[in-house]
A and B are shown apart, each in its own frame.
Chain A
Amino acid sequence: MASKTSPRAPRRVAVLGGNRIPFARAHGTYAKASNQDMLTASIDGLVARYGLAGERLGEVVAGAVLKHSRDFNLTRETVLGTRLDPTTPAYDIQQACGTGLEAAILVANKIALGQIDAGIAGGVDSASDAPIAVNEGLRQTLLAANRARSAADRAKALAGLRPSHLVPAIPENVEPRTGLSMGEHMALTAAQWGITREAQDELAAASHQKLAAAYERGFQDDLVTPYLGVARDNNLRPDSSVEKLAKLKPVFGKGEGATMTAGNSTPLTDGASAVLLASEEWAEEHRLTPLAWFVDAETAAVDYVHGDEGLLMAPAYAVPRLLARNGLSLQDFDYYEIHEAFAATVLTTLKAWEDPDFCKGRLGLDAPLGSIDRSKLNVNGSSLAAGHPFAATGGRIIASLAKQLKEAGGGRGLISICAAGGQGVVAILEA
């Protein structure tokens, strides 16, 4: 009898680089480009930058939040249109705004376990080229007609058609279980935590200024490839200021206490991103220098349906679990990348970690996680400036943080991304 195989020790996973197309506000330049187009452009840019043409990778994992039913195999179809070896396997995932980071976790875990040596994690979303489905009544009628065995039965089924069936079903940005949009949910949480308008506008203005500075110093040059004539994220307003943002009217929340505006919330955006992950050995063989190591990750979810917790609060739960597992404190980081779904999301998360009651009552900690050095937060700008094509945000953040860690000559970074459905995906990178 052959001897039993023994488990292999996990390996370090390197972030070798990333590529994305500039993000564009919805119904603008990329309005007619499909998810497959944008993901292809983003992966092909990565292939060109890291010499991967004709290379068979372990896998490509990506996804889109707003996806057409015809795109059931979006990532594999995309791979077949790129310059990667067509024998590279691929699959789709979807975890709302956590999609991109979750894709990286999946690829990283397979590399760590020795199941694959290298892979690409990505994400894409088009809020412009959104799927529109037929009305549910029409769908049921057509299905009934299709099931009918005789012409008479078919005619009977089709007789059920009503003018109202012509109204298409358009995807809505609301939580199915609460009927509230993400912004409305966030407005409730922001009010509960007393997040001020001024603090939100300050964070938003800083995001624009920092992303603009990142472009100015050439930091984005090897992270972004121009696409369809767009060279920079076109939501970016380098001259954004607290004064200008203060003039905007609130769009979420009600009455006097409404603080959330179009300026301190992310707009609907189109775009795609991709990140190259690999084992140390693979990186060496391909003469690529790791930017950072993908250390660990954690996902959490909260029950927001009946208002027990805020919809976007899950990262606040995921982070302490990740810290405990790695023996770290919240202050043991050189950079914090907290996805700016809304300025209020970032501020609420930080406030929750400072709050003794929340940390004890909700997180079960003896002491609060404490505050962070705000100068280490989103140092190259984040989603408020760049925009947020849901599934593409994870890849944008990983590549940008990995490069920042490399530039700084080493350090540790925390990524925190909130997602619809009350979920949160967080990760640690080190260089």
Chain B
Amino acid sequence: MTKEITLEGPPDLRRIYATAALRRGRSGDTLPDVRVSRAGVRVDLDDLVAYSHVCRFPVDGTLPVTYAHLLAFPLQMSVMSDDRFPLPLMGAVHVENRIEVVRPVTTDEVLDVAVRAEGLRPHRRGRQVDLVSEVEVRGELVWRGVSTYLSRGQEHPDATASEPPSQEALESVTAGPLWRLGEGTGREYAAVSGDWNPIHVHALTARPLGFPTAIAHGMYSYARALASLGPRLPEGGLSSRVWFRKPVRLPSTVRLRTAFETRRTLSVLENAKGQVEHAVVENTW
């Protein structure tokens, strides 16, 4: 039977991170049957505007494609910090994310957010798991997100992994917006998303976790890519998917190249010289 955990407010992420940092050595082969939810969530307009300005979304009265992820993220952390959760939270890498926007959500709608974990499976470099987030408005599913996290560990060379689509369509695309991401980009996004994971905050806090510099939040790069495609994507009925490749080390100058097709866009975010691929984003509708 599913254990239902209902939260009255957003869990305190700093506390989750602090606790997780002290706890290591998770194991086990099964996911706890837990569903963490928050009902009656209202979007804080100041938070929304701050987030939109950082990611360059227009504040047009509807929620940006990625905004519900922000509401679900603390619940994801809460699921992953559960005592019986088989993978350690610290050091988990966001490798892939899918979002379905069933219909646009306006800023004044009251949202029910629920998160559960699914699909614990081997990955070439360890094990991965999907955190499935669903947002409903009075029982109607309006938004669904699937965040795939990798926990590095025992290697599984034979494991099949989801691969981004062929980039053939992008071969002829040479131009696209260039973003100069400053050293403080991670802190800027942390301030509006609440994700103060030390790997994003500063080189000094990222180093103990194996990164030479702070790295940009994957969801920041993804959000900026979607904001930049903005009006070319439909407001509802959108399936969006991102594969996170090499992290964006801060500071960094990156470029987004996009191929536009009928009912599909395919983008790649890479360093300005085009040698390092940071993310691949596909939207279909």
Contact = CB atoms under 8 A, between A and B. Distances in A.
The contact size tier of chain A is 20 to 34
Contacts of B60: 37, 40-41, 44
A229 B107 contact: yes
A229 B59 contact: no
B231 A37 contact: no
A412 B239 CA distance: 50
B61 A227 contact: yes
Nearest to B46: A32
Most buried by A among B46, B58, B108: B58
A99 interface: no
A228 B107 CA distance: 6
Contacts of B49: 32-33, 37
B23 interface: no
Given A81-B230, A228-B107, A29 B45 contact: yes
A81 B230 CA distance: 7
A409 to B, nearest CB: 34
A410 interface: no
Interface in A12-40: 21, 29, 32-34, 36-38, 40
B53 A34 contact: yes
B50 interface: yes
Interface in B46-63: 46, 49-50, 52-53, 58-61
A228 B61 contact: yes
Contacts of B59: 33-34, 37-38, 40-41, 228
Contacts of B52: 37
A36 B60 CA distance: 10
B107 A37 contact: no
A226 interface: yes
Interface in A53-97: 80-84, 86
A41, A84, A225: residue with the most chain B Cβ atoms closer than 10 Å: A41
Given A37-B58, A41-B59, A229 B45 contact: yes
Contacts of A86: 231
Contact of B50 (A32, A40, A81, A82): A32
Nearest to A79: B231
A228 B47 CA distance: 12
Contact of A41 (B46, B50, B61, B231): B61
B173 to A, nearest CB: 16
Interface in A197-242: 225-229
Contact of A83 (B45, B46, B231): B231
Contacts of A29: 45
Contacts of A33: 49, 59
Given A86-B231, A228-B45, 5 more contacts: A29-B45, A32-B45, A34-B53, A81-B230, A82-B231
Interface of B: 45-46, 49-50, 52-53, 58-61, 107-108, 230-231
Cβ-closest 4 pairs across A and B: A37-B59, A40-B58, A32-B49, A229-B108
16 contacts: A32-B49, A34-B53, A41-B58, A81-B58, A81-B231, A82-B58, A82-B231, A84-B231, A86-B231, A225-B61, A226-B61, A228-B45, A228-B59, A228-B61, A228-B108, A229-B107
